[in-house]
Chains A and B, each alone.
Chain A
């Protein structure tokens, strides 16, 4: 199941979405999240869905691949659907099961909210599927740069993120090693009552934490030796290029917002 899970993963390919500037993609996704809330009727959602479909096409990934990869998230969406279905109490009763009633507004809300949720998950997944973590970090740093004026630590935040990303596989390997070492000493982590299993995690976490701190110290020394003295006076190895397609992508969002607003307020 974890192999099929694509949430948060990067899939290398050569498509328009892959080649876009990470800054444009970040703005695009965050703006989309805001814009989707304008839609409040069937036509609004049809347009938003069509827009999402076109975005998926631009990423060069197949829709089927996305849907199968997002199945675990779908369970959450189905749960939201049912929650809305049974607990929104407005309009006429459509179905009366005795112990619970389904209202007209409940059906409407359930469809709309799960639709909104689905589109959001698709769009945010597209961001991570088409952008390497390091590009996302670069993009974020560049976008947050103006905030440095009010002492916001944009560079530090980006560096922290990239180091965290770099160490995930290292720490995973280490967890695996410690787990095997504890198992070899007779610790049982995969069976028994829940309470025992939680207790078995403690001897796993403590060495992991101790080692992580040691690594952090070593890393800090290595960084200092290579001349790291904070963000001041640093140059960037990776450059970002804003192209015409990035501007067009953002313009398409303005169109989407306009269309959704038109349906909501005038039609």
Chain B
């Protein structure tokens, strides 16, 4: 499979500052893959997303999106390949109603009106918000607003979706809604997903995790590999998912569990079978 996004030797400073936010970073993301980038606040993970979308340009190194090298001339072409969902559900809702918001991106791309109506419908159906066409944003929950944001992205038919802390302002129910939706979309549409998060529970659902620290790639691997780091992750300022924490505490108390328990189900299975293997 080909690379959807590839970053080569990226170094970046914010204009007017001295500190290097990103230091010599190389990452590649394959088509159809769900990658999570985790790291504590200030690790440079959000800056990375902004570089991929040409909101900033790197000082050194190259960004290639779907085979197009990103620079000031190609920025609008590469943006067609990427859809982004941001952190604050309110601040990315441009339209006065749900359907206007989904149509906003289509209007920008000059899509004819009859096709627009159809695409707005389909996109809202995909996120199960098609009953809310004329609803105004302040009558929606955070999770619903993020789903509309996803629909706005889907209507543009991108190849890549970047979730930039998209679930961090939601309540647990809203968070689960959005993550479930991403999983469905990935399965049905074969999209490339990049989620930037500090929630390891969200990251656990990805195919691959990249851990960032101090502007550098600290570790890269499958969720199992990454969670095997245990205490090291906590030292990096990340919060372990509950089943993992539970397993660690149990191990400390003298009840060793054999495998890494990433989900609650795995933990429960491990617990109720642990006496059998004694």
User: A residues engaging B (CB < 8 A)?
Assistant: 133-134, 162-163, 165-166, 169-170, 173, 214-215, 218-219, 221-229, 233-239
User: B residues engaging A (CB < 8 A)?
Assistant: 53, 55, 76, 79-80, 82-84, 86, 88, 90-97, 99-100, 103-113, 116-117, 120, 136-138, 152-153, 156
- Point out the residues of chain B lying under 8 angstroms from A134, CB to CB: 96-97, 100
The answer to whether B120 and A237 have CB atoms under 8 Å apart is yes
- Point out the residues of chain B lying under 8 angstroms from A238, CB to CB: 100
Instruction: Contacts A227-B80, A237-B113 given; indicate if A218 touches B92 (C-beta within 8 A).
Output: yes
Instruction: Tell me the bound Cα distance from A21 to B99 in angstroms.
Output: 20
Nearest-neighbor residue (CB-CB) of A162 within chain B: B96
Nearest-neighbor residue (CB-CB) of A219 within chain B: B91
Distance of A26 from chain B, by nearest CB (Å): 18
Instruction: Contacts A169-B136, A170-B137, A234-B110 given; indicate if A227 touches B156 (C-beta within 8 A).
Output: yes
Nearest-neighbor residue (CB-CB) of A170 within chain B: B90
Distance of B52 from chain A, by nearest CB (Å): 11
Instruction: Tell me the bound Cα distance from A226 to B136 in angstroms.
Output: 20
Instruction: Tell me the bound Cα distance from A262 to B82 in angstroms.
Output: 65
The answer to whether A215 and B91 have CB atoms under 8 Å apart is yes
- Point out the residues of chain A lying under 8 angstroms from B93, CB to CB: 166
Extra inter-chain contacts (4) besides given A215-B90, A222-B92, A234-B107, CB under 8 Å: A162-B96, A224-B55, A235-B113, A237-B116
Nearest-neighbor residue (CB-CB) of B99 within chain A: A237
The answer to whether B108 and A234 have CB atoms under 8 Å apart is yes
Of listed B53, B108, B117, residue having the most chain A CB within 10 A? B108
Instruction: Tell me the bound Cα distance from A173 to B94 in angstroms.
Output: 17
- Point out the residues of chain B lying under 8 angstroms from A173, CB to CB: 138
The answer to whether B107 and A236 have CB atoms under 8 Å apart is yes
- Point out the residues of chain B lying under 8 angstroms from A229, CB to CB: 76, 108
Instruction: Tell me the bound Cα distance from A173 to B137 in angstroms.
Output: 12
Instruction: Contacts A166-B137, A170-B138, A235-B116 given; indicate if A227 touches B92 (C-beta within 8 A).
Output: no
The answer to whether A218 and B96 have CB atoms under 8 Å apart is no
Distance of A169 from chain B, by nearest CB (Å): 4
Distance of A39 from chain B, by nearest CB (Å): 38
Nearest-neighbor residue (CB-CB) of B138 within chain A: A169
Nearest-neighbor residue (CB-CB) of B103 within chain A: A237
The answer to whether B92 and A133 have CB atoms under 8 Å apart is no
Instruction: Contacts A165-B96, A235-B112 given; indicate if A221 touches B86 (C-beta within 8 A).
Output: yes
- Point out the residues of chain B lying under 8 angstroms from A214, CB to CB: 91
The answer to whether B116 and A226 have CB atoms under 8 Å apart is no
The answer to whether B113 and A228 have CB atoms under 8 Å apart is no
Instruction: Tell me the bound Cα distance from A133 to B136 in angstroms.
Output: 12
Instruction: Tell me the bound Cα distance from A176 to B186 in angstroms.
Output: 39
Of listed A162, A218, A235, residue having the most chain B CB within 10 A? A235
> Residue B55 contacts which of A225, A227, A233 (CB distance < 8 angstroms)?
A225
The answer to whether B97 and A219 have CB atoms under 8 Å apart is no
Instruction: Tell me the bound Cα distance from A162 to B113 in angstroms.
Output: 19
- 19 pairs from A and B in contact (CB 8 Å cutoff): A133-B96, A219-B94, A221-B55, A222-B94, A224-B55, A225-B53, A225-B82, A225-B83, A226-B94, A227-B79, A227-B105, A234-B107, A234-B110, A235-B106, A235-B112, A236-B113, A237-B103, A237-B107, A237-B113
Instruction: Contacts A225-B53, A226-B104, A229-B76 given; indicate if A235 touches B91 (C-beta within 8 A).
Output: no
Instruction: Tell me the bound Cα distance from A191 to B83 in angstroms.
Output: 50
The answer to whether B103 and A219 have CB atoms under 8 Å apart is no
Instruction: Tell me the bound Cα distance from A234 to B152 in angstroms.
Output: 16
